[in-house]
Structure 1
Amino acid sequence: MPRWEISIQEYRGNMTIVHKSGNIHKNADGLMRWALANTPENPAWVPQEEHHIEVICVTDIGTEFFNQVKESYKMDKKYHILCQLLMKDFKDPSL
């Protein structure tokens, strides 16, 4: 329960957390539990090979390619409409 209290504390005041024992609450799912580490102590342990990262490759997008992508968005009508909507201060709750 404490881990869920941390996750949902922004909703405090709008909900009440009630503990239901396993005997009463029989439809609890796997999302309610922490996943166990994949270690020999875990009954569902599956041995796996370790893969070590030997190289990290960082690339830079060329200016010409970046500009082509940027220009293609400018010609997209739906993108233009979306940008206009996002830049305005809409107070209509139906939006």
Structure 2
Amino acid sequence: MGKLANIWAFIGRHKYLVTVGIFLLIIGVLDENSLIRRIAHKREIHQLNTEIERYRKQYEEDSKMLKEITSNKEALEKVAREKYLMKKENEDIFIFEEDK
């Protein structure tokens, strides 16, 4: 009974400190909307926003390329030669790769 009485006396003397500690424990770690989860969600939202921005830029570039290809035959030939390594008859292709 001595330990239980000491614990109860400590809680009685420091009831506000104990209450704040329990509150911080619940809010910081145990709650469904804890601070740890909020930080993880903010990080995930930031990563998804950067991914959205990257896809938006890629979409704009691809849309511009598509418009150029459909309207200009020389641009279509240029893309076919560069991306798909197509060639005209009696023509050789040399591919240079950079070491990464």
Quick check: TM above 0.5?
A: no
> Quick one: higher RCO (CA 8 Å, sep 6+), 1 or 2?
1
Larger Cα Rg: Structure 1 or Structure 2? 2
Normalised TM-score (structure 1): 0.25
Normalised TM-score (structure 2): 0.24
